[in-house]
C-alpha cells in the first residue's frame, strides 16, 4: 500500500464503484415473500418460546419436589 493520498482517492472511488455495481445485482423479495417469511419466523419463535417455557416450568416443579 502506497502512502499517497491520490492513490487512496483512486482506490476509494474504485471501491465505491464496485459497491454500486454489486448493489444493482440485489433482488428484493416481493411483499408476499417477505410477509410469508415474517410469519414463518414468528411461528418458529412462538414454538421455541412455548417449548422453553414448558421445560422451565417442568424443571422448576421438579426442583420444588426434590428440594422441599
Q: If you count them, how many residues does the chain have?
A: 68
- Which residue segment(s) compose the domain that 15 sits in? 5-66
pTM value surpassing 0.75: no
Model confidence over 14-66: pLDDT tens digits? 999 999 999 999 999 999 999 999 999 999 999 999 999 999 999 999 999 99
Which pLDDT score is estimated for 12?
A: 92
State the pLDDT at residue 4.
80
The candidate with the shortest Cα–Cα distance to 18, out of 10, 28, 30, is 10
How many domains are contained in the chain? 1
Three-state SS at 25: coil
Amino acid at each position: 500500500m502506497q502512502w499517497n493520498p491520490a492513490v487512496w482517492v483512486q482506490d476509494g472511488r474504485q471501491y465505491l464503484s464496485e459497491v454500486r455495481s454489486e448493489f444493482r445485482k440485489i433482488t428484493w423479495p416481493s411483499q408476499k415473500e417477505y410477509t410469508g417469511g415474517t410469519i414463518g419466523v414468528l411461528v418458529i419463535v412462538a414454538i421455541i418460546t412455548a417449548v422453553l417455557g414448558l421445560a422451565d416450568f417442568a424443571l422448576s416443579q421438579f426442583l420444588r419436589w426434590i428440594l422441599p
